Amino acid sequence: MRKSRLIAGIATALVAASTLAACGSGGGSGADDDTLTFMFRGGDDEKKAYQEAIDRFTEDTGVKVKMIVTSADQYAQKLQAAVAGNKVPDVFYIEQASLQSYVGSGVLMDITDQVAEQGVDLDNIWPYGVDSYRFDGTTQGTPDGKLYGLPKDIGPFAFGYNADMLKEAGVDRPDPDEPLTWDEWLDICKKLTQDTDGDGETDRWGTGLNVQWNSQAFVWSNGGDWTNEDHTQVTVDTPEFAEAIQFIADLTAEGVTPNPEQAQTLDTYQRFMAGEIGFFPVGPWDMSAYNDLDFEYDLMPWPVGKTGEPATWVGSLGIGVSNTTDAPEDAVKLATYLSTDEAAQQTLVDANVQIPNRIDTAKEWAGEVEKDDSLEPKNRQEFLDIAEDYGREMPASFTYGAEWYDELWVGIQPVIDGKQKAADYLAEVQPRMQELLDQSIAQAEQAAAAGSAP
Amino acid sequence: MTSTATPATADTRPPAPDPAPAPPRRGGTSRLHRTEKRWALLFVAAPVLGYLLFILYPTGFALYASLTRWNGLGPMQFIGLDNYVALLGDERFRQTLFNTFFYMIGIPIGLAISLALAVMMNRKIFGRAAFRAIYYVPVISSIAAIAILWQWAYNGDFGLVNQFLAIFGIEGPNWLADPAWAKPAIIMMAVWKGLGYSMLLYLAAIQSVPRSLYEAAELDGAGGWQKFRSITLPMVQPVTFFLIVTQVIGGAMIFIEIQIMTPTGGPEYSTASVVYHIWLQAFRYQQMGYATAMSVVLGLLILVITLIQFRLNRRNAGFVVD
């Protein structure tokens, strides 16, 4: 009896002790001192490509790296938990939109000087990519700001088409340099939309757009924008903006895109891959899946509105370094390696998940299609044109948080369903967005003040 | 406490023979008492410590955080009651509060169905054990898996629910994409998931009703309905009370099924619950201070509602929870 009580007592004490220990520890950065931790997100393809790149890094430098990978939608939450628990990974992905708050909170390290020491030619990296992670305390994306990260990649969001379907319908391939107007494009969409098996239901559509990710191209090309130049005034209630949103909504009414029920059953991405949709957006990350399709696809400029100029967004994800890392030099080396090293970049480009970060490599990559006819997409140059010429950042990339921007999408469905006019909805949502943007500006100012105070 | 001869180190190996000279009379009992007491304190310490660390400290921390502007990463900035003032004007918070209480319509519906099921399962019907198991399966299944399955079942075009309705010539709505039907859809799923648990508790309660009551009622000529209304129902009232209290608390914190079935908070935010809204503010928009203020309000609401329930319960029935 004594003995069992003793054991019970020890067990209790152990539980209590370990509880205390768990609370007491923390600090430090996860793994052993000589191992870097790298936290990122992505699917299997990406994980494999990164594993390869990192193995080579370890071989070259002798620095061991522990990879922590999460799914895309859990990443932000996990990273925040890691920061709150004082276990910031040494190197990690950072979103454009959260850069300012992470800098303000002292989580991200200013790597301007260390990167320069590495002897990297930043002029050979897409300026949009590098500048996205520059921040001068008030403005993000300016070439004069301090560097708080390097681009993992940039993602020019291009427009594409099913070349086989166009050919079958007797439509010429769209000219890579001469964009279609909205009306010309809509006509082709109507031609493509068909009931191929004659059961009375449409089973092939001209296109299938998602307003949240595709409307930027239409709004911008029509001369509209989400905010004014310095991101202080929400301008979604302009006629140009409304016209573009209405155009997208009317595609459903015209029947050239799957209706909401059909899109819910099988989303338009799947339908494009199944060969049921003519025109569809293509991001660089889509290439690994699209290259295996049993039809030919290619890229084209987005259809143009009033301005006559194509437009679209360029995404980017950055690689940042923790302010509290034990090995700042190695950590910066890893970030630089992943972002700019030729061999590392080649591994990622070969996996068809991104376009090269290095401009010279990217030009070579786009030129390869001339020599090898089997490569897809033929018009790789379109990605580069976007990166160099007509791509822009997402509306909320450089604001403090994206709540004001998300607000637009919450109630947009009735517009797409044709139950509400775009202009009416936009007039109604503008004040709410403005209020949220004002809040975000106030937060940015407070964060800047708090950051400089101590 | 009186013994001073024992060096402090002896405390670390407690049950060793106590070297302190014990008074001869009360020797056995007092020594036993002392060691027992020490052990008791140690055992009590574990939960108390746990309570302090995991309940009291976080609660106090949350109360403080709710008075600050804080993005969850950087320093906190004390702003007094600003968050609570902002909350009063937050249309989305009101909307999610409404949604959350709307979901609670499912609680009485679920209780009625599970009581009916429990009464049936109490009879000697064929395959009783199998039925009991079948109704209990959703309870032990992962809520995430269930939410995904129901998401498919609610698909507007090919979902099981609409296919079933089509048999009767009813054209079902596009459940989760229709602002009018998304909430009822989630209620149905929640009722279905909770049936087994409530049924099991009701079954246990029904079976512990003394047979003599029914026999006496039968002698007085009571019919089936009368027996149910005047004996079964009042006798299972404690269980009903327990279920309502726990389900209201659980219902106020509904989140996982919402987040999985309608990742954007549903059409026009029509399915977003309070906790969903809190989660969004805290982790997507990095307004941890504001989100904490919302959770404090939610916690207070739950507390008040529960207190009211206890009060009502005491008045309506003799049953009292101590």
pLDDT for A343 equals 85
**Chain B partners within 8 Å of A19 (Cβ):** 49-50, 53
Partners of B37 on chain A (C-beta within 8 Å) are none
Question: Residue A437: what pLDDT?
Answer: 94
CB A5 to CB B158 under 8 A? no
Residue type, A158: A
CA distances from B18 to A12, A13, B3, B60 (A): 22, 21, 10, 42
Rounded alpha-carbon distances, angstroms, from residue B64 to A60, A132, B81, B89, B294: 49, 35, 11, 21, 13
Name chain B contacts of A5, Cβ cutoff 8 Å. 15, 39
How many other CB atoms are there within 10 angstroms of residue A27's CB atom?
9
pLDDT per residue rounded down to tens, chain B (322 residues): 444 444 444 444 445 445 555 455 554 568 888 888 899 999 999 999 999 999 999 999 999 999 998 888 778 889 999 999 999 988 899 999 999 999 999 999 999 999 999 998 888 888 888 888 899 999 999 999 999 999 999 988 788 999 999 999 988 888 998 889 999 999 999 999 999 999 999 999 999 999 999 999 999 998 889 999 999 999 999 999 999 999 999 999 999 999 999 988 988 899 999 999 999 998 888 889 999 999 999 999 999 999 999 998 887 665 544 4
Chain B residues touching residue A107 (CB < 8 angstroms)? 73-74
Among A97-106, A164-173, A288-297, the least confident range: A97-106
Q: How far is A436 from chain B (nearest CA, A)?
A: 11
The yes-or-no verdict on residue A332 having pLDDT over 50 is yes
- Contacts of residue A409 in chain B, CB cutoff 8 Å? 264
- Nearest CB to B46 within list A16, A77, A447: A16
**What 3 state SS string does chain A have?**
CHHHHHHHHHHHHHHHHHHHHHHHCCCCCCCCCCEEEEEEECCHHHHHHHHHHHHHHHHHHCCEEEEEEECHHHHHHHHHHHHHCCCCCCEEEEEHHHHHHHHHCCCECCCHHHHHHCCCCHHHECHHHHHCCEECCCCECCCCCEECCEEEEEEECEEEEEHHHHHHCCCCCCCCCCCCEHHHHHHHHHHHCECCCCCCCCCEEEECCCHHHHHHHHHHHCCCCCECCCCCCECCCCHHHHHHHHHHHHHHHHCCCCCHHHHHHCCHHHHHHCCCEEEEEECHHHHHHHCCCCCCEEEECCCECCCCCCCEEEEEEEEEEECCCCCHHHHHHHHHHHHHCHHHHHHHHHCCCCCCCEHHHHHHHHHHHHHCCCCCCCCCHHHHHHHHHHEECCCCCCCCCCHHHHHHHHCCHHHHCCCCCHHHHHHHHHHHHHHHHHHHHHHHHHHHHHHHCC
Determine, for residues A76 and B177 on separate chains, whether the beta-carbon distance falls below 8 Å.
Answer: no
Integer Cα distance of B15 and B282 in angstroms: 50
Q: Phi and psi of B77, rounded to 5°?
A: -120, 120
Is the pLDDT at A340 greater than 60, yes or no? yes
* ipTM tops 0.90: no
SS3 B23: coil
Instruction: Provide the pairing of β-strand A277-282 with A205-207.
Output: parallel
- Tokens describing residue A231: 């991101």
Q: Do B158 and A265 touch (CB under 8 A)?
A: yes
Is the Cβ–Cβ distance between B153 and B159 less than 8 Å?
Answer: yes
A86 touches chain B (CB under 8 A): no
Residue A407 has pLDDT above 70, yes or no: yes
How many Å apart are CA B321 and CA B318, to the nearest integer? 10
For residue A376, pLDDT over 60 is answered with yes
Give how far the C-alpha of residue B227 lies from the chain's centroid of Cα atoms, to the nearest Å: 31
CA distances B89 to A427, B93, B252, B253, Å, are: 20, 9, 21, 22
- As a whole number of Å, the CA-based R_g of chain A is 25
Tell if the CB–CB gap between A264 and B177 is shorter than 8 Å. Answer: yes
| A3 has pLDDT over 70 | no
A328 has pLDDT over 50: yes
* pLDDT at A449 (0 to 100): 75
Contacts of B71 in chain A (CB under 8 A): 101, 104-105, 443, 447
Residue A27, pLDDT > 50, answer no
* Phi and psi based region of residue A195 (left: phi greater than 0; alpha: psi -120 to 50; beta: remaining): beta
**Cβ neighbour number for residue A28 with a 10 Å cutoff:** 13
Contact residues, chain B, for A106 at CB < 8 Å: 74
Asked whether the beta carbons of residue B71 and residue A77 sit closer than 8 angstroms, the reply is: no
A324 touching chain B per CB within 8 A = no
Structural domains of chain A sorted by starting position, each given as residue range(s) with its CATH number in brackets: 35-155+315-371 (3.40.190.10), 158-314+383-445 (3.40.190.10)
Which CATH superfamily groups domain B87-316? MetI-like (1.10.3720.10)
Q: How far away is chain B from the Cα of A376, in angstroms, using its nearest Cα?
A: 34
CB A92 within 8 A of CB A38: yes
Cα gap A356→A4, rounded to integer Å: 66
**Which sequence spans correspond to the domains of chain B?**
25-86, 87-316
- pLDDT of the residue at B306: 93
Structure confidence at residue B28 (pLDDT): 54
Q: In this structure, what are the phi and psi dihedrals at residue A41, rounded to the nearest 5 degrees?
A: -130, 160
B81 touches chain A (CB under 8 A): no
Q: Quote the distance between the C-alpha of residue A144 and its chain's center.
A: 23
DSSP code, position B97: H
What do you get for the CA distance between the two ends of chain B, in Å? 35
Question: Per-residue confidence at A198, pLDDT binned at 50, 70, 90?
Answer: confident
Q: Is A212 on the interface with B (CB under 8 A)?
A: no
Query: How high is the pLDDT of residue A22?
Result: 40
| Band of residue A7 on the pLDDT scale cut at 50, 70, 90 | low
The partner residue sitting opposite B73, judged by closest CB among A6, A83, A402, is A83
Closest partner residue to B74 (CB to CB) among A261, A402, A450 is A450
CB contact under 8 A, A105 and B265: no
Q: A3 to chain B: nearest residue by CA?
A: B15
Residue B280 Cα, gap to closest chain A Cα (Å): 10
- pLDDT tens figures, A45-72: 788 888 988 999 999 899 999 999 998 8
Determine the residue type at A320: G
